[in-house]
Amino acid sequence: MARAVSTRRKATFTVAAWAIALAIFFPILWTFLTSFKTEGDAIASPPMFVFFDWNLSAYEAVNQRTNYLKHFWNSVVISFGSTILGLVIAVPAAWAMAFVPAKQTKNVLMWMLSTKMLPPVGVVIPIFLIFRNTGLLDTRTGLVIVLMLINLPIIVWMLFTYFREIPGEILEAARMDGADLRSELLYVLTPMAMPGIASTLLLNVILAWNEAFWTLNLTAAKAAPLTAFIASFSSPEGLFFAKLSAASTMAIAPILVLGWFSQKQLVRGLTFGAVK
Amino acid sequence: MTLKSLLYGASFTFALTAVAQAEELTIATVNNSDMIIMQKLSPQWEEASGHTLNWVVLEENVLRQRVTTDIAAKGAQFDIITIGAYEAPIWGDLGWLNGLDDLGDDYDYDDIYESVRNGLSANGSLFAVPFYAESSFTFYRKDLFDSAGIEVPEQMTYDQLAEYAKQLHDPDNGVFGTCQRGKAGWGENMAFVGPMVNAFGGRWFDLDWNPQLTSEPWVNAVTYYVDLMNNYGPPGASSNGHNENRALFADGKCATWVDATSAAGFIFNPNESTVADKTDFAAAPQQVTNKGAGWFWAWALAIPASSQKVDAAKDFLKWSTSKEYVELVGESEGWVAAPPGTRKSTYANAKYISAAPFAGTVENSILSANPADATLEPVPYTGVQFVAIPEFQGIGNFVGQQISAALAGSQSVQEALDNSQAFAVREMKKAGYIQ
């Protein structure tokens, strides 16, 4: 039976939800607005909200000095490449853990997660040296590998959670019908777990897109993605807020659009199995 | 063989040689106006030399971390790097950089100020060539000083600065007596505090490398600084760095500001500053001594020892820090934008002097900043606002945090200095300087 919720209670929750949403969104809105200001207006005190001389000078300056498309393409290759490679490895791993658990499965899962607790800077020198010796410095291949490794625990964990919601009997039935392991994974499990896989893909693409430690430390000129593009507009001297905001807006716009179009899928995937 | 075929052969060989020699250089640099101009003008060098440049522009702290990792681990990702006066002698001494004494007679080494050359050398060899150098001096609002009837002496003291700040402090009308760096960091608040301690007669270490952070000059200087800022500074000064103060001063909110000479071009530019015609400059304040009262800093270009393209990189360094390059910037970007502080010829150029009325004061400040003799009492190190040893970054940052916390009121000056002394002693013991 549905609970009776008073109008006043509803209104309070709605106002609170809007206030929280606006507070979370405000930094992005402020960045967007600042990108259309002159450098002088960007630091004006008191700050100007919308009544300023709207212009594109910051975008012009950003485009004159850097090659946005090159960085954008590097970001696309690195984020999608690392996530897809991660999924290829994680789907069989999560299948094994969810449907044929061994005695140590839980410990293995915890151990995988524990690798996320180490601050990345702790391993920067060993990884840098491995990359130097294998010629992977400043290559997209190198970044795809390292970001895949970093996000793999999350991918495995997410898929494991989704797979566990799928009744094992369905897979058994498929086996009874003569499906081999490959067919079971490809034609039975994957389609059923699609919302989960899709949200794992989206979330990890976003994580890889925003990753700014390894992408800055392992690249120079050739493989630098949009994080390096943003970093190049922060300056120790002089005014740079408008240019930095323009660069940030250009860097987050693609992922924002992707998130916007796929939010239904994302929410469905993230709440998959939450309600029983 | 005909003459024609000989010529064809010769030109083909020449073309092959040219292709073989055309190098692709990667240059790592900071994002400041001088480097942006260099990036803009560099196609002229690329056209003339046949080489190409890949620019990697990074924020200063990211650049420092990135370049240090690369050079220490011999990553060889960069052929040219931007480093400061702190790194150049240390890295040169460690053998991480190529020597730059052989750029040719036409480079005119003698035209570069001696203090700048010394600041970028180790064991008598030059390891980085400067594209700009700076000292610190006092910016003050001529109009406010005039209306208050204050005559600025040729060499003011910190006590006088506090007196002027007191007289001109008028927060109700949006003017603070003084704006100084408060944001923690060896390159932020310590760049101001370090020279001030020198002027109060202090030093970082004695001749045996014992930290001196609780000595009388340090206590006097830091107490003075915290009182000055709390009484006559802007609110929230502990989070203001160079950029924030620069914006405040340019917006007419500060009566006085002691900071980088390189900011003069910005403050003097009416498009970027509301006080361009109301600002004047004086030497950095002194107190018990004027030794080390103005800092010394230079941004310079260097070639990592791991680079495989040293010849082409040297050719670029020679071009981008030459007299001719200064001339090129002056003619194409306006003389006020010419790289300051590096070459005597810039300050002998009438066009520069007329475009930059602050040139004389800047030149005097740079000439009087001597990293080799910056303290009243003798010290075992070089550097004005820093100590040219690898351990200084950590110590300087820690002390900066303590002083910033004292400024914010979360601890006393004595606590800040006691903590700083304990930390410095621990670090120096760990590094083997003291027992």
What string of pLDDT tens digits covers the 435 residues of chain B? Answer: 455 554 454 444 444 444 447 899 999 998 877 888 899 999 999 999 999 999 998 877 788 888 988 888 888 899 999 999 999 999 999 999 999 999 998 999 999 999 899 889 998 999 999 998 999 999 999 999 999 999 999 899 999 999 999 999 999 999 999 999 999 999 899 999 999 999 999 999 999 999 999 999 999 999 999 999 999 999 999 989 888 899 899 989 999 999 999 888 889 888 778 999 999 999 999 999 999 999 999 999 999 999 999 999 999 999 999 999 999 999 998 898 899 999 999 999 999 999 888 898 889 888 888 888 899 999 999 899 999 999 998 999 999 999 999 999 999 999 999 999 999 999 999 999 998
A40 confidence band (pLDDT: 50, 70, 90):
confident
* Cα distance between residue B368 and residue B360, in whole Å: 12
pLDDT computed for residue A181 by the predictor: 86
Q: A228, B65: Cβ pair inside 8 Å? A: no
Contact B298, B130 (CB under 8 A): yes
| Mean per-residue pLDDT, A41-57 | 84
Measuring CA to CA, which residue among A103, A133, A40 is closest to residue B274? Answer: A40
DSSP for residue A48: P
On the 0-12 / 13-18 / 19+ scale of CB atoms within 10 A, A141 is middle
How near does any CA of chain A get to the CA of B76, in Å? 8
With respect to residue B361, please indicate whether it lies within any of the assigned structural domains.
no
Measuring CA to CA, which residue among B70, B113, B123 is closest to residue B93? Answer: B123
Last residue of a domain, one of B355, B379, B396: B355
Query: The domain that contains B288 carries what CATH number?
Result: 3.40.190.10
Residues of chain A contacting B254 with CB distance shorter than 8 Å: none
Who contacts B371 (Cβ-Cβ below 8 Å, separation ≥6)?
B85, B115, B118, B119, B296, B382, B383, B384, B388
Say whether both B127 and B143 belong to one domain: no
Distances (CA, A) of B287 to A253, B145, B293, B366, B403: 54, 21, 8, 19, 20
**A–B interface: beta-carbon pairs under 8 A:** 85
* Cα distance between residue B53 and residue B27, in whole Å: 7
Sign for the CA dihedral angle at B97, B101, B104, B107 comes to positive
With respect to residue A174, please indicate whether it lies within any of the assigned structural domains.
yes
Say whether both B337 and B412 belong to one domain: no
pLDDT computed for residue A18 by the predictor: 96
Q: A232, B58: Cβ pair inside 8 Å? A: yes
pLDDT computed for residue B8 by the predictor: 54
Residues of chain B contacting A143 with CB distance shorter than 8 Å: none
- pLDDT over threshold 50, residue A225: yes
Residues of chain B contacting A39 with CB distance shorter than 8 Å: 272
How near does any CA of chain A get to the CA of B11, in Å? 33
Say whether both B271 and B398 belong to one domain: yes
Q: B73, A124: Cβ pair inside 8 Å? A: no
Q: How many Cβ atoms sit within 10 Å of the Cβ of residue A39?
A: 18
pLDDT computed for residue B13 by the predictor: 46
Say whether both B77 and B124 belong to one domain: yes
- pLDDT over threshold 90, residue A24: yes
Residues of chain A contacting B56 with CB distance shorter than 8 Å: 220-221, 224, 228, 232
Measuring CA to CA, which residue among A221, A217, A213 is closest to residue A71? Answer: A221
Distances (CA, A) of B131 to B97, B343, B369: 17, 9, 18
Query: The domain that contains A145 carries what CATH number?
Result: 1.10.3720.10
> What is the percent of chain A where pLDDT is above 90?
54
Place of tokens 């052989």: B102
- pLDDT over threshold 60, residue A2: no
| Interface membership of A216 toward B (CB under 8 Å) | yes
* Cα distance between residue B302 and residue B98, in whole Å: 7
User: Which among B32, B65, B66 has the least Cβ separation from residue A235?
Assistant: B32
Say whether both B53 and B140 belong to one domain: no
List the single residue in B with minimal CA-CA distance to A132: B75
Residues of chain A contacting B251 with CB distance shorter than 8 Å: 43, 45
Say whether both B70 and B174 belong to one domain: no
A3 confidence band (pLDDT: 50, 70, 90):
low
pLDDT computed for residue A196 by the predictor: 86
With respect to residue B366, please indicate whether it lies within any of the assigned structural domains.
no
Measuring CA to CA, which residue among A136, A64, A96 is closest to residue B55? Answer: A64
A118 confidence band (pLDDT: 50, 70, 90):
confident
Last residue of a domain, one of B305, B324, B355: B355
Provide the residue range defining the domain that includes B27.
3-133+296-355
* pLDDT 10s digits, A127-137: 999 999 999 99
Measuring CA to CA, which residue among A158, A153, A142 is closest to residue A116? Answer: A153
Q: A222, B54: Cβ pair inside 8 Å? A: yes
* Cα distance between residue A51 and residue B325, in whole Å: 42
| ipTM (interface pTM) | 0.78
Say whether both B270 and B383 belong to one domain: yes
Residues of chain A contacting B75 with CB distance shorter than 8 Å: 128, 132, 137
- The pair of structure tokens assigned to B333 is 């970007």
H or E element, residue B141: strand B129-141
Say whether both B288 and B381 belong to one domain: yes
B-contacting residues in A 104-163 (Cβ below 8 Å): 124-125, 128-129, 132, 137-138
With respect to residue B364, please indicate whether it lies within any of the assigned structural domains.
no
When divided into structural domains, chain A yields a total of: 1
| Interface membership of A237 toward B (CB under 8 Å) | yes
What number of H helices and E strands is found in chain A? 15, 0
What number of H helices and E strands is found in chain B? 18, 9
Place of tokens 């709440």: A271
Q: How many Cβ atoms sit within 10 Å of the Cβ of residue B363?
A: 20
B235 upstream amide cis, omega within 30 of 0? no
pLDDT computed for residue B426 by the predictor: 97
With respect to residue B362, please indicate whether it lies within any of the assigned structural domains.
no
Q: B247, A239: Cβ pair inside 8 Å? A: yes
List the single residue in A with minimal CA-CA distance to B38: A65
pLDDT computed for residue B15 by the predictor: 46
| Mean per-residue pLDDT, A167-183 | 88
Q: B262, A217: Cβ pair inside 8 Å? A: no
Contact B344, B169 (CB under 8 A): no
Residues of chain B contacting A231 with CB distance shorter than 8 Å: 58-59, 62
Residues of chain A contacting B181 with CB distance shorter than 8 Å: none
- The pair of structure tokens assigned to B32 is 């400041």
| Interface membership of B247 toward A (CB under 8 Å) | yes
Provide the residue range defining the domain that includes A93.
67-232
Q: A237, B243: Cβ pair inside 8 Å? A: yes
List the single residue in B with minimal CA-CA distance to A134: B75
**3-class SS of residue B175:** strand
Q: A236, B32: Cβ pair inside 8 Å? A: yes
Say whether both B397 and B328 belong to one domain: no
pLDDT computed for residue B18 by the predictor: 45
When divided into structural domains, chain B yields a total of: 2
Say whether both B331 and B424 belong to one domain: no
How near does any CA of chain B get to the CA of A117, in Å? 22
Measuring CA to CA, which residue among B369, B361, B375 is closest to residue B152? Answer: B361
Contact B356, B389 (CB under 8 A): no
Place of tokens 């420092």: B64
* Cα distance between residue B231 and residue B161, in whole Å: 13
Average pLDDT over all residues of chain A: 89
Q: B60, A232: Cβ pair inside 8 Å? A: no
Say whether both B118 and B18 belong to one domain: yes
User: Which among B39, B59, B243 has the least Cβ separation from residue A65?
Assistant: B39
pTM for the whole structure: 0.82
| Interface membership of B69 toward A (CB under 8 Å) | yes
| Interface membership of B174 toward A (CB under 8 Å) | no
pLDDT computed for residue A6 by the predictor: 82
How near does any CA of chain A get to the CA of B57, in Å? 5
How near does any CA of chain A get to the CA of B73, in Å? 7
Q: A221, B263: Cβ pair inside 8 Å? A: no
Interface test with B, best of A232, A239, A240, A248 (most B CBs within 10 A): A232
- The pair of structure tokens assigned to B403 is 């002083």
Last residue of a domain, one of B355, B385, B403: B355
> For residue A68, which amino acid is it?
Y
Q: B32, A222: Cβ pair inside 8 Å? A: no
Contact A255, A208 (CB under 8 A): no
How near does any CA of chain A get to the CA of B75, in Å? 6
How near does any CA of chain B get to the CA of A100, in Å? 44
Say whether both B288 and B149 belong to one domain: yes
End-to-end CA distance of chain B: 80
